[in-house]
Amino acid sequence: MEGKEKFNWKSHISIVDSSLSEQAVQNVEKVDTEMLVHMNHLQDLVQDDLTKFQPVIVAQFTPGGGKFTLLRNQYHNESRTTVEPVSNLFAMAKSIAHAPLGIYGCFGPYATTPLNQDWRIALGSYEKVLATALDTFDNIKTGFEIDEELKKRLVKDLNEVTGKFDGAAPDVTEENVIEHIHIVLKKLLAEAINFIKNTALALLKNEAPTRVFQQWCNQTSRDTENPDDTVYKLIVQCQVIAACAQQYGISSLMQEWKATFEPSEWEKLYVIVEAEWVTRKMNSIAQCILPYMTDGMDALDQRLLIVTNLSDVEKALHFLARIIQDRAAADLILTNQKQPRKHLSGQVDLLGPVMHDVIATNSEEEIEKVVAKCPY
C-alpha cells in the first residue's frame, strides 16, 4: 500500500453534512405529517360515533328545492330518514324565472365576436324548449302541489313581499291566487318566446342581441292597470312564489322532525347545508332551518354550517367530524389564550391573525425606509 494516497475524509464532509441536513429536515417535517395521520384516524372514529351523541341533518340543494337527511340514534343504531319536502311549485317557478338567463347563455359566448352569428342556432333551439313548456303548461293542473295552507302563504307573500322589490305588488286572494300564478308563469314564458322570435332573431345579420336584451330586461311599465307586464316584475313574482313554496316545505319538515325529539336532544342538533360558493351567503335552505334551531340565528356557524364542495351525506359527516374534533382540541390548547378557540375550528386561518400583524409591521417598516430615502 506504499505510495497510495490515504482517503481524505475532510474533502467529503460537505456531502455528508448535506445528507444529514436533508434527513434532519425530513425528520422535522414528519412531526406534521404524522400529526395528520393521527388526526385523520381520530376524524374517522368521531364520524363513526357521531350520531350516537347528537342528531345530524344534512341538507342538499336539489332542483326540486332540497333533499334532507336526518341521522339519529335509535335503539343503539343509526337511523336515517331522507325527505324531499318542497312542492313542485318551487321547481316550476324557479325554472321559468331562469328563462332570461337561458337566453343570455345562448348569445353570451359570442358577445365579443358580434360578426359570429352562431348564437342564432342556440337561441332558436332554446325558443323551441320555451314554446314546448308553454304549449304543455295547462297539462300540469294539480301537479304544482299547492295545498290550502300553502295557498294562504302565497297570498300573503305575493301581496306583501313582491312590492318590496319591484314596487308593483299584485292584489291576490285565496280565490284567484292559483289563476294569478298560472298567468305570471305563462306570461314570462310568452315574453321570452316573443323576445327571441320578434326581437333577437329579427336583428340584422351584423348585429348582436346584447343591447336589445338589456333593454328588454329593464323595460318599465307606465300602465298602472297592468303593472306586471315587465320582465323584471314577472321574475320577482316567480322568485316570491318559489321562496314561499320552499320555505313552507322545509319549515313543515323541521316542525315535524323537531316534535319527535326531547328538547334536550334537539338542542344537540348539528346541520350541514351543502352549498355552492355562489349560494354561501343568505343561503335559502339555511334561512329556512335556522328558526327551528334551539339557538335560533346564533346557531349559524356554530351548529348550522354552510359548507361548499360537498356532494353527499358521508362527506358531510366527515366534515362535521373534523369540526367537532378541532373544537375539542381548541378547548384544550387555546384555553384563555389571545387567539380565539373558534379560529382552530372555524373559517379563520389559525395563522391568519398573526400574518395580519406581521404584514402590518413590515409595511410600517417599508414606509419608514421610503420616507428616510426621500430627498425632500
pLDDT of residue 222: 56
Nearby residues of 311 by Cβ (< 8 Å), 6 or more positions away? 274
Three cell numbers, residue 164: 318590496
pLDDT of residue 362: 79
- The better pLDDT of the pair 345, 5 is held by 5
Structure confidence at residue 325 as a pLDDT band (50, 70, 90): confident
Which pTM value belongs to this model? 0.82
Distance from C-alpha of 212 to C-alpha of 361, rounded to nearest angstrom:
53
pLDDT of residue 113: 83
Calculate the average pLDDT of the chain. Answer: 85
Structure confidence at residue 203 as a pLDDT band (50, 70, 90): very high
Distance from C-alpha of 340 to C-alpha of 156, rounded to nearest angstrom:
44
pLDDT tens per residue, range 249-305: 999 999 999 999 999 999 999 999 998 888 888 899 999 999 999 998 888 888 999
Give the three-state DSSP class for 355.
Answer: helix
pLDDT value at 120 more than 80: yes
pLDDT of residue 14: 58
Q: Grid coordinates 313542485 are at which residue?
A: 88
pLDDT of residue 7: 62
From 12-16, 37-41, 149-153, the region with the lowest mean pLDDT: 12-16
pLDDT tens per residue, range 101-117: 999 999 999 888 878 88
Distance from C-alpha of 203 to C-alpha of 34, rounded to nearest angstrom:
65
**Residue 197 per-residue DSSP state:** I
- The better pLDDT of the pair 217, 35 is held by 217
From 49-53, 58-62, 270-274, 275-279, the region with the lowest mean pLDDT: 49-53
pLDDT of residue 36: 78
Phi-psi region of 9 (alpha: psi -120 to 50; beta: other; left: phi over 0): alpha
pLDDT of residue 53: 80
**Sign of the four-CA dihedral 171, 213, 89, 163:** negative
How many C-beta neighbours within 10 Å does residue 61 have? Answer: 16
Distance from C-alpha of 154 to C-alpha of 180, rounded to nearest angstrom:
11
- The better pLDDT of the pair 368, 80 is held by 80
**Sign of the four-CA dihedral 85, 86, 91, 94:** negative
Three cell numbers, residue 40: 385523520
pLDDT of residue 44: 74
Three cell numbers, residue 88: 313542485
Question: 289: closest CA among 275, 277, 272?
Answer: 272
pLDDT value at 1 more than 70: no
Q: Give the residue-averaged pLDDT of 81-107.
A: 96
Is-contact 301 87, C-beta < 8 A?
no
Question: 251: closest CA among 81, 78, 87?
Answer: 87
How many C-beta neighbours within 10 Å does residue 167 have? Answer: 10
pLDDT tens per residue, range 127-169: 999 999 999 999 998 899 999 999 999 999 999 998 888 777 7
